[in-house]
Amino acid sequence: MRVEGEPAYILHRRAYRNTSLIVDAFTPKFGRVALVGRGARARGRSGNVALEPFVPLLIGWSGRGEMNTLTSAEASAGLTLLRGIELAAGLYLNELILRLLPVGVAHPGVFGAYVTAIVSVSSGDHSLEATLRRFEWVLLDDIGLGLILDRDSEGQVLEARAHYAYEPASGPLRVPSGSAHDGPTFAGASLIAFRDGRLYDGAALRDCKRLTRRVLDYHLDGRPMRSRDFLRTMVNGGKQGARSLKGAGRRREGT
């Protein structure tokens, strides 16, 4: 098989032998693809700078099986520089795709949502929290693990004034007012806002962050995400975190 001019983003790259790279690329038509960029690390090789995360690319490859050979790569737009909290957010998006999407399965809807999220994160014009939550929604829905936010587990329409627990396998469970519940609960108004794409309120954003983390952790079997640890290190202190936050130009709550 030979492919040319396929839009792509690099999710991850690692050194291979003396001068080559192995890259995980994300494309709309072929999903995740693993490619060997032969000689891509060689000094002075043209196009080397393009094999970086967050750069919109047009790539080509050839071969059969799970590992193919990268034959071309050029940037289709300028380099997207992410620093501090924005960099942590971009790495979080990449890690979600690497952890939840299989190799070789097309997910054009997720690819479109990823492009939108990267543009939003890099521009600084939108709420970082809302951007991440919208991407998580699209990703989970596209792979058949979508959030159930139309009715509770007993078939009743969600009520804004009620509070709910959330079980990833069955959805919201109404918690009677004043009763104790072992586990997190979420305001009905927050769940409705998430369902309707109205993530403008700080309380709703905080609830939705706790909700998606609970659902994602369930589907990841509790395995930790390294990008979350990176962000937590920056937010909670440390010299490197302080420099990153200063470089970001503003403090934002993360993934």
Kindly state whether residue 192 falls inside one of the protein's structural domains. Answer: yes
pLDDT score, position 44: 47
Residues forming a β-bridge with 61: 3, 70
Predicted TM-score (pTM) of this structure: 0.86
How many domains is the chain partitioned into structurally? 3
Kindly state whether residue 138 falls inside one of the protein's structural domains. Answer: yes
Tell me, rounded to whole angstroms, the distance of Cα 78 from its chain centroid.
21
Kindly state whether residue 225 falls inside one of the protein's structural domains. Answer: no
Kindly state whether residue 224 falls inside one of the protein's structural domains. Answer: no
Which of these three, 58, 75, 92, is where a domain ends?
75
Q: How many angstroms separate the CA atoms of 12 and 90, rounded?
A: 11
Same domain, 187 and 132: no
Compute how many other C-beta atoms are within 10 angstroms of the C-beta atom of residue 31: 19
Same domain, 99 and 202: no
Q: Above pLDDT 70, what percent of the chain?
A: 85
Kindly state whether residue 32 falls inside one of the protein's structural domains. Answer: yes
Spatial strand order of the sheet with 163-167 comes to 171-175, 163-167, 186-187
Alpha helices in 73-127 (DSSP H): 84-100, 108-123
Question: What is the tens place of the pLDDT at every residue in 81-131?
Answer: 788 888 999 999 999 999 999 999 999 999 999 999 999 998 876 688 899
Kindly state whether residue 226 falls inside one of the protein's structural domains. Answer: no
Note whether 164 and 173 are within 8 A (CB). Answer: yes
What is the span of the domain harbouring residue 15?
A: 2-75
- At residue 183 the predicted structure's pLDDT band, cuts being 50, 70 and 90, is confident
Kindly state whether residue 152 falls inside one of the protein's structural domains. Answer: no
Domain CATH for 11: 2.40.50.140
